[in-house]
Amino acid sequence: SKAKLFDEKTDTRTSFKDVAGLEGAKEEVEEIVEFLRNPDKYTSLGGKIPKGALLVGPPGTGKTLLAKAVAGEAKVPFFSLSGSDFVEMFVGVGASRVRDLFKQAKDKSPAIIFIDEIDAIGRARGKNNFTGSNDERENTLNQLLTEMDGFGTNTNVIVLAATNRADVLDKALMRAGRFDRQIYVDLPDIRERKEIFEVHLRPIKTLETLDLEFLARQTPGFSGADIANVCNEAALIAARNEKKAVDKQDFLDAVDRIVGGLEKKNKIIT
Ligand code: ATP
């Protein structure tokens, strides 16, 4: 198939304002934005700009969002691919996709490359490889390592990768000059959940009396993606009930529905 494996977008719409909470992670990536904006300033004294950083954390916590915000804030193109796209790929295809991706990013540098689910290609090599079916994954991983090593000090391409399984990654990926920085992106605490509600309620017509503190308290363990879902679901429930604005009960019903969905998901896993 001709499925596009990476998107290039000059995504100036996503900014740090869209990313709620995650203060520590934002502070760390802020530095990357600075590097991309003024590479010469940082290399003028002989320093080397980092080539990559790993965003580590549970699903739906905003890793992709944060990577897009880095590109948006720095006003540089955003090239992305997902590790899972490389599963079951024909021999040679994965490696050549990686080569193409890096070439395009270098041509348009400064730029961000984002690799989601890097564990799908970056699992430790030489394990569970009885059938040889992992060969292409290994080729792809090797190509990725080669590309990162091949960056000159003034390439100005920074590779961000996301995973929720940093423990299974090949140690070679974390070596100096590759993904040598790890940035933790955790589930939001109550204060952060309130901030995430604020972001996702922006486009939604709610009653003015809506208590965000209350909503944050009703959603322990929810990720940012879950909260985005709750807000959307609440708006749909209210509309279905012919309401003019979304109220507390719609949110409670939406929370119930999302909790129901999460429980089902967990049941399948365990
Ligand atoms: P995965 O590991 O499943 O790829 P992820 O960590 O990359 O997940 P995102 O894809 O960035 O998560 O998050 C999905 C959506 O959830 C975002 O597009 C956004 O709408 C919402 N979201 C997640 N975290 C936040 C946050 N901190 N602030 C605002 N919105 C968030």
User: Confidence class of residue 9 from pLDDT cuts 50, 70 and 90?
Assistant: low
Give per-residue pLDDT as tens, 160-200. 999 999 888 988 899 888 998 999 999 999 999 999 999 99
Predicted confidence at residue 43, as pLDDT, reads 83
Q: Is the pLDDT of residue 130 over 60?
A: no
CA distance 49 to 46: 10
Q: How far is CA 13 from CA 50, 61, 78, 244, in A?
A: 25, 19, 12, 29
Mean pLDDT of the 132-155 span: 80
Please state the residue numbers annotated as binding site for ATP: 57-64
Among protein residues, the one whose CA lies closest to atom 9 of ligand 1: 62
Residues facing 158 on adjacent strands: 112
Tell me the percentage of the chain whose pLDDT exceeds 90. Answer: 60
Q: Is the pLDDT of residue 229 over 80?
A: yes
User: Confidence class of residue 13 from pLDDT cuts 50, 70 and 90?
Assistant: confident
**ipTM score of complex:** 0.96
Give per-residue pLDDT as tens, 80-114. 988 888 766 666 788 888 999 999 999 998 999 99
Judged by DSSP in three states, 183 sits in strand
Ligand 1 probe mutation, 19, 61, 115, most atoms within 8 A of CB: 61
Whole-structure pTM value: 0.88
Q: How far is CA 89 from CA 1, 4, 53, 113, 150, in A?
A: 11, 13, 26, 21, 24
Cis peptide bond prior to 77, omega within 30° of 0:
no
- 115's enclosing H/E stretch is strand 111-116
Predicted confidence at residue 95, as pLDDT, reads 86
Among protein residues, the one whose CA lies closest to atom 16 of ligand 1: 225
Among protein residues, the one whose CA lies closest to atom 30 of ligand 1: 224
pLDDT higher at 84 or 53? 53
What is the strand order of the sheet 52-56 is part of? 7-9, 78-82, 111-116, 157-163, 52-56, 181-184
The mean pLDDT value of the chain amounts to 87
Ligand 1 probe mutation, 13, 14, 23, 64, most atoms within 8 A of CB: 64
Predicted confidence at residue 11, as pLDDT, reads 46
